[in-house]
Amino acid sequence: MKSLFIFIISFLSIPFSAQSLSETQKLESLCKVWGFLKYYHPRVANGDFEWDQELLKKIDEVDHIRDIDQLNELYFNWINNLGKVDECKKCSKEDKEKVYFLRNFDLSWINDQHLFTEKVSRQLSFIQNNRNLGSNHYVGNGGKKVYFKNENSYGSKFTSKQISLLELFRYWNLVEYFFPYKYLTDQNWNDVLTEMIPKFLSIKNDENYHLTLAELVTKVDDSHAFLYSPLINANLYGRRKVPVEYMYAEGKLVVTKILTNKLNGETPLKKGDVIYDVNGRTISQMVNSLGKYVPASNSWGKITKVKSLFLFSNNDSITVKIERDGQNLSLSTKTYLLKDIVWEKPSAIQKWKFLDADQKTGYVNMGIIEKSDLDDMYRELKSAKSIIFDLRNYPKQTIFPLSRMILPEKSIYYQFNFPETDYLSKFYSAKNTIGRKNPDYYKGNVVVLADENTQSQAETTTMMFKQHPKAKVIGSNTSGANGDIIRFKIADLDTCFTGLGAYYPDGRETQRIGIIPDIVVKPTVKGILEGKDEVLERALEYIKTGF
């Protein structure tokens, strides 16, 4: 017992810095230091170093480090060798005209005494306080939105542990410093790094590389985000499809059309069949399985992005369980390559029309009407007592001219957060106005149809309509992904995430939540089988009854 007591006392007396480090701990710290120096150190941000090569060398060097003292000696010498950082008098002056949003900003790791010695923390803090200002070799400023530049490409094939870690570190730091909704992700962004490092270290082949990258991108919980990988599309989702069209409702798929195929094959499925199981998995289970690699802001956004994949496969056939005429059936149905399926051309849709003979209710399809159509549309519909604007689609940048027609006055409709390029990971807020003083504004009912397909510009347009004194939003929560996107590549694969934060005028979030309708109504299996548009029908009922 005495020996055990002496051992414990001896262990506790060992300086923390002498304790060993795990591989993940070393690489976590390297990711953060490398990214911080890339954007904050004036000479690094100026492009004076081959910064990717610096990282590749440091990955090899930290592999041989065993304790915190050695790690800090590496960082101290590395930072010193980057050259002297001059004092920056402008860095301490705040722009008093800007309202700052700081929920993403966190450089507290610099002072983590369990990882960094005091002298290294002082180095990093000095760089923070005398950071790069103005132009940056890696970041361009396109107005109020940034874009990324001068990033090296290493191809999309798995070549080495070092390159795969570089891509992880690059993406993690892009989110760390430029993603406005980092604070809203389900998983703390630091914990994402801890989780993903071992996964990137275990990559063995191209497919696993792409799937691990897709899993990383999914962690941003943003419906704007994606990773375009033909390898994932072919191997995970499949190249073949059951030749039917369907709609999703209540966790099931309702077949709405049977498509022909060039091989004259027949399918046992019929229009009106309700599919609730595919190859032994419920639709919910398929959403969860595919959703690991498909980023979305929320559960309804996840369904929206994966529902087109449910009947894809690499097998010649799949087994489905269906409901038909009150019976449950199990069927095997063939799949076909997409080139062999005959896709029917959709019938022409009117951009606007009256929904009644008395011309009291107008309808506008916001997904197809263009700026050049607005004068004609409004001239024809402005006499209507109500106009329904269908935003279950993506509009064609009609928000500003339309607001000048239908709104009574100029009003604040959104608050946006923009990246502060002189102090990265900070954002500043500005309220946006829309409309104009207009005594001839549209004085009837403005009814907006919205659902999970109402995303980004469509959500902003919905918020514009809400400024109308007689506006009513009917349907279900919108996508919850709002603000201009930043497109870039990771491992030479196209990707993106939201680049500007977008909020209600009072600062409440729409990201991940969506715009909540005034009257909630969702499609049902019964309604689809009966060929109804239940959201539109509810809008007509509101116009008729007032509730």
Tens of pLDDT, residue by residue over 237-281, are 999 999 999 999 999 999 999 999 999 999 999 999 999 999 999
pLDDT band, residue 18 (cuts 50/70/90):
low
Look at 88-92, 246-250, 358-362, 380-384 and tell me which has the smallest mean pLDDT. Answer: 88-92
Is pLDDT of 12 > 60?
no
Is pLDDT of 9 > 70?
no
Q: Which pLDDT belongs to residue 347?
A: 86
Burial class (CB in 10 A: 0-12, 13-18, 19+), 473: buried
Distance of alpha carbon 413 from alpha carbon 47, whole angstroms: 40
Contact yes or no for 442/382 (Cβ under 8 A): yes
Average pLDDT score over the chain: 95
Is pLDDT of 62 > 70?
yes
Q: Which pLDDT belongs to residue 7?
A: 44
Distance of alpha carbon 16 from alpha carbon 466, whole angstroms: 58
* CB atoms inside a 10 Å sphere around CB 283: 20
Question: What residues contact residue 161 under an 8 Å CB cut-off, 6+ apart?
Answer: 59, 200, 201, 203
Select from 281, 269, 279 the least CA-distant residue to 244: 269
Contact yes or no for 513/298 (Cβ under 8 A): yes
Select from 40, 74, 69 the least CA-distant residue to 54: 74
Report the predicted TM-score, pTM, of the whole model to 2 decimal places: 0.94
Distance of alpha carbon 513 from alpha carbon 9, whole angstroms: 52
